Amino acid sequence: DVQLQASGGGLVQAGGSLRLSCAVSGFTTDDYTVAWFRQAPGKEREGVSCFSTFNNNTYYTDSAKGRFTVSPNSAKNTVYLQMSSLKPDDTAEYYCGADVGARPYYYCSGYGRIRYWGRGTQVTVSS
């Protein structure tokens, strides 16, 4: 079974940094996309960044461009989301999901396109 586990959330001041981790297991292929999404209270889950383990292609949504960076460990079974210059608007539950294929843009465009999800990790940015 595919399993994902997000960790690393916490409380940080505005302007600070935080690194989230997403541990992935259970895929029978090396070709899948890991997706970072977030959901603030009362809002829909939105894409942040998506990373292809096959070709390392990465897609960043507007909310992440220039501030967030995605990178894998050497085995590509853990994908990190490095977040910098955090703002109060970044406060949300952050989720990692994954599905087969090298399709970062496609998966980041809608959480309903992703079959596998882990539990979220809360990020709170204080002003």
Q: Which residue has the tokens 């995605």?
A: 70
Give the pLDDT mean for 102-119: 97
Q: How confident is the model at residue 25 (pLDDT cuts 50, 70, 90)?
A: very high
Give the pLDDT mean for 46-50: 98
18-25 and 10-13: which strand pairing? unpaired
- The β-bridge partners of 40 are none
Q: What is the pLDDT of residues 59-110, one digit of tens each?
A: 999 999 999 999 999 988 999 999 999 999 999 999 999 999 999 999 999 9
* Rounded-to-10 torsion of CA 76, 59, 56, 80: -30
Q: Which residues of 30-42 are buried (b: 16+ CB within 10 A; e: fewer)?
A: eebbbbbbbeeee
32-39 and 58-60: which strand pairing? unpaired
pLDDT of residue 49: 98
